[in-house]
Amino acid sequence: MNSLTELHLDALSEVFNVGAGRAAASLSDIVGEEVRLSVPSVEIRKSSEIDVSAMGLQSERFGTVHQTFSGSFEAEAILLFTEEHALEIVRDMMGSQISLEDLAEFEQEAMCELGNIILNACLSAMADMLNIPLNCSLPDYTVATTEEIFRRVSDDLDQPYVLLLHIDLAIERRHSEGHLIFLLSSTSLKGLIIQLERFLGAV
Amino acid sequence: MKKILIVDDSKVSRMVIRAHVKAVHPDWEFFEAGSGEEGIKSVIENKPDYCTMDINMPGMLGTDAAEQILQTSPHIRIAIFSANVQDTMQNRATSIGTIFVAKPVTEKSITIVLNYFASE
């Protein structure tokens, strides 16, 4: 029941591809430049198996935006940005005349907004393509070390499955890696598989 | 009988495009490619009349593949079908002589593509 077929993963990749495309269009409008996207990769892991190598994380500290999704299935979404690049993106959003020091004041709010745009783009793509209603909570933003993130993921016994999405977002010369983690309970993973089967069955 | 080539790295996407087009044109012959490079090869081998092209794929960008295809086979009508809906991508698609249609693939977006193919 916890096995997604290659076709399921392909369908999920496509859903997130559409989501990332929408997010990039919004980001591009905000920063006034083209945002380049990598082809997203998706995998399902047991949360107990998650570590630095599984995630391929290069940085030790991340800006993390957290939101809860609910609807046909429930998931906790955590979006990770390398902290330094996060501030640069915020500066692009606010206008480059603001110094990095002054930005700290806006960081919380701007990162929540950034996370909100990206997570909602993915959410709306999933809701539209799978034809299911999905809601999400308001975002909250924290800066965390990789260790803190993994502890949080692996300690969550109610949600033993992790859907990992890796995508690179590059804004002009700045290269920022975004990682999106979805934590799913067994019931929610079943729910997601049912929705994917329904979507594939309709093709 | 017309021939259509579907270029997309997602098998699901290719299935969805094929199913929608087939519903309207059951007699068309279908070819598929999983990358821009394979797409270019398939155009030479199969000489399709129409082509749908994704942008973000491993290897070359779909827009670059479409540009190369149109240089050697200017008669092919190409629709760029992409989730990357930024203005720069839409402008690039138009500038190389293709149309841009936003993913996800739906009956509505396929209708736009088929109307473009038919408007010769």
Give me the CATH number covering residue A107.
3.40.1550.10
Decide if A153 is inside a domain. Answer: yes
Decide if A72 is inside a domain. Answer: yes
Q: What is the pLDDT of residues B7-48, one digit of tens each?
A: 999 888 898 899 999 999 999 999 999 999 999 999 999 999
Q: Report pLDDT for A55.
A: 66
Q: Report pLDDT for A37.
A: 77
Beta strand pairing call for A140-145 and A41-46? unpaired
For chain B, positions 40-99, list CB contacts with chain A under 8 A: 56-58, 82-88
> In terms of Cα–Cα distance, which of A150, A152, A162, A154 is closest to A189?
A162
How many domains, chain A? Answer: 1
Three-state DSSP at B109 gives helix
Q: Answer whether A139's CB lies under 8 Å from A112's CB.
A: yes
> What are the residues whose beta carbons fall under 8 Å from the beta carbon of A197, sequence distance 6 or more?
A8
Decide if A123 is inside a domain. Answer: yes
* Residue B55 structural domain: 3-118
Alpha carbon of A36: minimum distance to chain B alpha carbons (Å): 9
Contact assignment for A39 to B56 by CB distance below 8 Å: yes
* Residue A22 structural domain: 6-201
How many domains, chain B? Answer: 1
Q: How many helices (H) and strands (E) does chain A have?
A: 6, 8
Q: Which residues of A touch B19 (CB under 8 A)?
A: 203
Quote the DSSP letter at residue B46.
H
The answer to whether residue A1 scores a pLDDT higher than 60 is: no
**Domain containing residue B88: CATH number:** 3.40.50.2300
Decide if A1 is inside a domain. Answer: no
In chain A, how long is the greatest CA-to-CA distance? 53
Report the complex ipTM.
Answer: 0.72
Q: Per CB distance under 8 Å, which residues of A are interface residues toward B?
A: 7, 10-11, 13-14, 17-22, 24-25, 28, 34-35, 37-39, 125, 128-129, 200, 203
Q: Answer whether A156's CB lies under 8 Å from A174's CB.
A: no
The answer to whether residue A23 scores a pLDDT higher than 50 is: yes
Q: Is 0.80 topped by the overall pTM?
A: no
The pair phi, psi for residue A159, each rounded to 5°, is -125, 80
Q: Which of B9, B58, B104 sits opposite A18 (nearest CB)?
A: B104
pLDDT band, residue B75 (cuts 50/70/90): very high
Q: Identify which of A2-16, A126-140, B52-66 has the greatest average pLDDT.
A: B52-66
Cα–Cα distance between A62 and A148 in angstroms, integer? 10
A77, amino acid identity = A
Q: Report pLDDT for A181.
A: 78
> In terms of Cα–Cα distance, which of A56, A118, A66, A52 is closest to A89?
A118
The answer to whether residue A93 scores a pLDDT higher than 50 is: yes
Alpha carbon of B97: minimum distance to chain A alpha carbons (Å): 21
- Beta strands per DSSP E along chain B: 3-7, 29-33, 50-53, 77-82, 99-102
**Mutation to test the A interface, candidates B14, B20, B56, B60, most A Cβ within 10 Å:** B56
Q: Which residues of B touch A25 (CB under 8 A)?
A: 84-87
